[in-house]
Amino acid sequence: MDTAFWNERYQTSDYAYGTAPNDFVKAQLKQLPKGKLLFCCEGEGRNAVYAASLGHEVYAFDQSREGQIKANQLAQQKATKIQFEIANASEVDYLKDSFDAIFLIYAHLPAAIRTLLHSKTISWLKPDGLLILEAFQPAQLGKVSGGPKQIEMLYSSEQLSQDFKSIKTLHNQYHKTTLNEGSFHIGEADIIRFIGKKSSV
């Protein structure tokens, strides 16, 4: 999806995927000590703002300026702050060993950009840092509850194992869930959840 698509989706007053955090993100944040977090392809900021409200130092990026505007508005409403950068997934960069945890929540990208971003996220993680991902898997194709309409944009456990082979896999499983996230993630869905941990050595 190009930048114009996302700007159009996010320019309404409603939040396309709601203002509440994703359930998986919320559950993972409960277990994390306060730290420095990055949310990739973060859209309108619902997950990043929630993390900031818990006291984390939060960074985020997305290609959409409209998404950034909505994210900052949401942060203001929640009386918190995030550092949200407008950036393309193929070009964005951060310092090595910067983050205690990095979140990729429905960050669906073409294969070449996906592998590039996933590789970069590993370098951005601190030793013992966590990579936390939720996305649609191939069985989602044809369902109306959300996600890309091209199978090559959906993520398999084999792809994620390959992308993150240099870190320890803690969880890499398909799940069935019921989404209730704004107007665009509604109903029964087939997803994948991945958690990986960077070695401290």
168: domain CATH number? 3.40.50.150
187 — phi, psi (to 5°)?
110, -175
What number is the average pLDDT over the span 61-86? 97
98 token code pair = 């910067």
pLDDT, tens only, 74-125: 999 999 999 999 999 999 999 999 999 999 999 999 999 999 999 999 999 9
What is the average pLDDT value for the chain, to the nearest integer? 97
pLDDT at 1 (0 to 100)? 60
Give the whole-angstrom CA distance, residue 32 versus residue 201. Answer: 21
Q: Is 53 a residue whose pLDDT tops 90? A: yes
Classify residue 172 by burial, with Cβ atoms within 10 Å: 0-12, 13-18, 19+. middle
The predicted structure's pLDDT at residue 128: 97
Distances (CA, A) of 102 to 1, 133, 158: 22, 8, 20
Phi first, then psi, for residue 157 (nearest 5°) are -65, -35
Through-space distance between the first and last CA atoms of the chain, rounded to whole angstroms: 38
Task: Give the per-residue pLDDT at 106.
Answer: 98
Mean pLDDT of 52-79: 98
Residue 201: is its pLDDT beyond 80? no
Q: How far is CA 107 from CA 113, 120, 132, in A?
A: 11, 14, 11
Looking at the structure of the chain, the number of domains it has is 1
Residue 200: per-residue pLDDT: 86
Give the rounded percent of residues in the chain with a pLDDT score beyond 90: 98
Using CA atoms, how far apart are residues 109 and 144, in angstroms rounded to an integer? 19
Instruction: Kindly report, residue by residue over 123-148, the tens digit of the pLDDT.
Output: 999 999 999 999 999 999 999 999 99
Q: Which domain holds residue 70?
A: 3-197
- Give the 3-state secondary structure percentages of the chain, helix then strand then coil, rounded to 5: 30, 30, 35
Using one digit for the tens of pLDDT, what is the confidence trace for 136-192?
999 999 999 999 999 999 999 999 999 999 999 999 999 999 999 999 999 999 999
